[in-house]
Structure 1
């Protein structure tokens, strides 16, 4: 007698359970969409610049000051987009903060989707006026091109506030 009762309950309620399973993703969609990146290149897009034969558009992902990363250093995120068909010709692209471009690529290599490359650029504890944000591009045939943006243009939030 008991088995028949559970069997009838299962037959009646299985369609309702299937409906709940189908509706569960709809309930979780707002959580998924909240984690998606904002469309566009970044929060503050810098003007297009030429680096060797390539044209690049650089953007700060966030206008907030550099954040503290897991190692205790200061890091700021940037996004870049290469135009002029440079995607297949570029071997490495590196963003770096300093007075001169780096000799060796470090942790700040541009990575990710070729349409929107991303870099986590380490910032020094103290930023001086002679430093800039350097983009170094190496092609597959070994040519190296470099360009810099003044930090006042590329990272306003990283500069110390001046009390005039």
Structure 2
């Protein structure tokens, strides 16, 4: 029978196993109780009142060969079922509806409780950039709102 040396590693390697078993609970807790930045002010767009909220203060990330920034949009007034299509982009001006319809980024999707969007963005933000939301209802009416970017997003 081989003798095992009594080393620090031999005496304490089981503690590392215990730590590896505990770490998933820390990440589970963080996943169940996320912390989001505050929502931007609500704005009226025709029959809708919408408030966007960035998911974090990180810079845009690459998603399907373009840069996007994630937002949650809550509709406090108006029926989301009345929205035919809605897009969000970040830049110095809103993108034309023809350009927005070409890709899958920038389109709102979700439920009446909240609409998620991968807002079309550039790799980095300038102080002159704004958040543009364009909504089209089933009657063909288009509504547009603009928000200033939070300072925390510009500083990155």
TM-score of the two chains, using structure 2 as the length reference: 0.67
Partner of 1:93: 86
Structure 1 position 102 matched with structure 2 position 95: yes
Q: When the two structures are aligned, how many residues end up with a matched partner? A: 128
Q: Show structure 1 runs of 5+ residues with no match.
A: 1-29
TM-score of the two chains, using structure 1 as the length reference: 0.64
Measured after TM superposition, the shift of residue 109 of structure 1 is 0.5
Aligned ranges 1:80-159 → 2 under 5 Å: 80-104=73-97, 105=100, 106=103, 107-151=105-149, 153=150, 156-159=151-154
Q: Which has the larger radius of gyration?
A: 1
Counterpart CA distance in 1 for 2:116 and 2:57 is 15
Counterpart CA distance in 1 for 2:123 and 2:84 is 30
Q: CA RMSD in A?
A: 2.9
Which structure features the higher share of strand residues?
A: 2
Measured after TM superposition, the shift of residue 37 of structure 1 is 5.8
Measured after TM superposition, the shift of residue 33 of structure 1 is 5.2
Contact 1:81 1:117 in 2 (8 A): yes
Give the alignment partner of residue 40 of structure 2, picking from 43, 46, 53. Answer: 46
